[in-house]
């Protein structure tokens, strides 16, 4: 049952979950490992995993392996960090553009401090409503 789904991300997530086989199964949602840009406090971008991000990816692989999943399906975005995280699992994965991170527009690869300095009004607007906020020239 689905109720009150609003917004692009929520509707896409529901679409994927509703169109998967209807037999009982476990669904694991996980975030990619820490990226080089995450480490530097920068948003967006398409950087690879940091050392700690690679450690996370291998820990995730160990966990998934311990679950004994026979027909594991892995979906990633087209971003380097998600692909590197999936590759650590050692299983086939499928790339979905719809899973790409929302583009931060003019603020892409900036730190929050830089955004506050260069776009103070935008910084305040995002802080007031992160869920509905859209970066200038972003998604």
Report the CATH number at residue 74. Answer: 3.40.50.1240
| Residue 109, pLDDT above cutoff 70 | yes
**Catalytic-residue membership of 32:** yes
> Are 71 and 131 members of one domain?
no
> Are 65 and 82 members of one domain?
yes
Write down the residue that tokens 């896409």 correspond to.
12
> Does 9 map to a domain?
no
> Does 85 map to a domain?
yes
Structural domain count of the chain: 2
> Are 118 and 73 members of one domain?
no
The residue annotated as part of the active site, out of 101, 108, 109, 114, is 101
| Residue 1, pLDDT above cutoff 70 | no
| Binding region for substrate | 31-38, 81
Compute the average pLDDT of residues 15-27. 75
Helix (H) / strand (E) containing 68 = none
> Are 43 and 87 members of one domain?
yes
Q: Over pLDDT 70: what percentage of the chain? A: 96
Cα separation, 28 vs 63, in Å, equals 11
**Catalytic-residue membership of 8:** no
> Are 89 and 35 members of one domain?
yes
Alpha-helix residue ranges (DSSP H) falling in the chain: 8-18, 36-39, 51-66, 80-87, 112-118, 120-128
Predicted pLDDT at 130: 87
Which pTM was predicted?
A: 0.77
| Residue 20, pLDDT above cutoff 80 | no
| Binding region | 31-38, 81
- Which residues form the domain of 112? 103-138
| Residue 19, pLDDT above cutoff 90 | no
> Does 109 map to a domain?
yes
Predicted pLDDT at 24: 75
């Amino acid at each position: 049952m689905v109720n009150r789904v609003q917004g692009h991300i929520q509707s896409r997530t529901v679409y994927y979950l509703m169109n998967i086989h209807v037999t009982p199964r476990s669904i694991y949602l996980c975030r990619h490992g820490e990226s080089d840009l995450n480490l530097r406090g920068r948003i967006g971008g398409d950087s690879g995993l940091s050392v700690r991000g690679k450690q996370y990816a291998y820990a995730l692989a160990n966990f998934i392996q311990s679950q004994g999943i026979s027909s594991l399906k892995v979906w990633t975005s087209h971003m380097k960090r998600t692909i590197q995280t999936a590759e650590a699992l050692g299983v086939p994965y499928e790339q979905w553009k719809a899973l790409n991170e929302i583009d931060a527009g003019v603020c892409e690869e900036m730190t929050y401090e830089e955004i506050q300095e260069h776009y103070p009004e935008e910084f305040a607007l995002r802080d007031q409503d992160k869920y509905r906020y859209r970066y200038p020239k972003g998604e």
